[in-house]
Structure 1
């Protein structure tokens, strides 16, 4: 193969420096196992201290140093503090549960958060690719009013998320929340048993402190996307990895989990929830409907017991078996929200957001994400609070034994 080094080949380009000053051996242009002049010789002196002149046999040509990435904007190193101090949050769910749409809606939700709360949240990509994903997603939802394409394979990205300073005691400004959303935007099929990329995905989840789990009641009704099949397979491998590094807490996974009941805006989910009395409506602003935060867990229980049935109950049982129930919170989530009137108010007579245009699903109005950012904020708060408590006791996150 052309890219392998042949010691019998006299290839002068083998000693050419790369863009970072290192050759393929990780050395500064010189391989001690090869009978060739070193860097000093390339600068005009041979191994005997003599300086060759002219174009004779003693002359060592100096190849030009190419630009590694020509005409590109220099990329800064990722920020966010030491890796051990970062709060890392992962994302997972069954096929077509809305993971990519959730990620696409996240920066929009962060911008809109200040409408209803004090201060705003900022999201920035920790790599050029992650930053481009944010920009493309914002354009897709707000200008094109279209949904992102389904993810194929695994794409690793990391975003830095920072919030406003919290008020401490006596109203004094306190800490500024900050964490890393370290995700692999993976096709739901990757979470299935036997997929070649599943180990890579599970490894990322194992390194996370918190998890966003998207539960899709609509997809759960279909055999090919049943939530429990993909959940159980992932949990089995995740537990094995964490157990092998002695990270289990009382036999359970140490993660904090936000369970998001996805597609809350869909009529097949929203209408039954309204009729069952789970939904309240704001009286100000856009007058958006929502499931009250204190009812989140009971809403999920109803979803499993009365709305979906046996398979969903297995999802609930698995979550309680593998995670500490005290570390799980629940949300009714919609990445795109409801259609609003021209006066920017919810109307129960006409609230469906997506419509079909030339065979493509489009959004009728600009999205108003519901409980997209909030599960992340809650995870960061709980992890930070308990991490500080455990450090004060001489423990560490994920290592405390109760």
Structure 2
């Protein structure tokens, strides 16, 4: 991929936060990013801004593609992962004659992602001793301290600091986990209250100021795919392999349908809480799968009878899951593209 024209200006310091309950797929979502970029048709591409971020992408991609394993759940709050998200976008500029024209501009955006353990979104954290000085620092491209200077942050405080400073948030909702745990709202509402306490004042309306991408994960799981197919939300005609898709205009409606099936009302409250806390103009929904649907190797087509790209196995060390076929991420890069373009200055 080539980008004609002059070198772009310094990267826009955009921050994207990743948010979700335990085992909602945050680490796997991050691991699928590079695969999604290489397989997709987007005008954006991704690379690490430091060795740790590059190593993360390399190692996690190896686990998904070669070993067909899911990354282990995050247990402790790691250093921030930083990537440069680079591509083209349209901008409107005023000419010297007072007219406006649309141009395509190469843009580089710094993605500052914090892969936090899901339990921290409910306050299940302790004091962190990761930094010898007790201080958490966020750095811009020049190496200057971009943090707020507060010392001795707990892991939860560091996480909330990060989310407050973000321009956009990716919220992962796993319908299969909610069927058994029914606690997504518990993790959601605590974080929202902390965000509102510290960030609501900078919003231009009654909502939180963030853009929010709601990702309904594990689209390939029968619990998610079957109701989407049965109720007419899934379309099998837009991809060459017959992979199902849900039009963006219907994803929010399908999310509400999936939440409404919760007899204990937790997911219903989650649905209403999102709509109460975040502006509909700054919220978009995506049906997502980090590994994608299973592709029948004999006919090279998606088979509705076998949508799930995961196999569960029982061994001497307990139950395990592994990826059944090739990895074909669904709507992993698209939320980032939307958040990047939505939060960038328009001109």
Range class of TM-score, shorter chain: 0.7 to 0.9
What corresponds to 2:50 in structure 1? 127
Deviation at 1:282, TM superposition (A): 2.6
How far does residue 168 in structure 1 lie from its aligned partner after superposition?
8.2
> Aligned partners of 1:283 and 1:375: how far apart in 2?
19
Question: Matches of 1:372 and 1:233 in 2, distance apart?
Answer: 26
8 Å Cα contact 1:258/1:329 also seen in 2: yes
Tell which deviates more after alignment, 103-112 or 360-369.
360-369
Q: Which residue of 1 aligns with 2:113?
A: 183
CA gap of 1:209–1:172, structure 2 versus 1, over 3 A, is closer
Structure 1 SS opposite 2:202: coil
2:246 corresponds to 1:322: no
Cα–Cα, structure 1 residues 299 and 138, in superposed 2: closer, same or farther, change >3 Å?
Answer: same
Distance 1:325 1:376, change over 3 A: same
Paired residue for 1:81?
A: 10
Task: Decide whether the 8 Å contact of 1:221 with 1:308 is kept in 2.
Answer: no
Shift of residue 304 of structure 1?
2.0
Take 1:230 and 1:284, find their aligned partners in 2: how far apart are those partners? Answer: 35
The two structures, once aligned, show a CA RMSD in angstroms of 2.5
Shift of 1:86: 1.7
User: Does the residue aligned with 2:40 lie in a helix, a strand or coil?
Assistant: helix
Question: Structure 1 regions of 5+ residues with no counterpart?
Answer: 1-78, 390-402
Deviation by residue 1:17-56 (Cα, 9 ceiling, x = unmatched)? xxxxxxxxxxxxxxxxxxxxxxxxxxxxxxxxxxxxxxxx
What TM-score does the superposition give when structure 1 sets the normalisation length? 0.69
1:251 has 2:206 as partner: yes
1:366 maps onto 2:326 in alignment: yes
Q: Could you say which residue in structure 2 is the equivalent of 1:195?
A: 125
Q: Which runs of 5+ in 2 are unaligned?
A: 1-7, 94-100, 127-154
Q: Is the Cα–Cα contact under 8 Å of residues 217 and 308 in structure 1 kept in the other structure?
A: no
Cα 1:193–1:283 shift into 2, 3 Å: closer
- Summarize the alignment of residues 27-66 of structure 1 with structure 2, pairs less than 5 Å apart: none
**Alignment of structure 1 residues 1-400 onto 2, 5 Å:** 81=10, 85-114=12-41, 119=43, 121-155=44-78, 156-164=80-88, 174-193=104-123, 195-196=125-126, 197-223=155-181, 226-243=183-200, 246-306=201-261, 310-342=265-297, 343-357=299-313, 358=315, 359-384=319-344, 387-388=345-346
2:295 aligned counterpart, secondary structure: coil
Which of the two has higher C-alpha Rg? Answer: 1
Higher strand share: 2
Distance 2:89 2:195 in 1: 34
Structure 2 CA distance for aligned equivalents of residues 190 and 325 of structure 1: 26
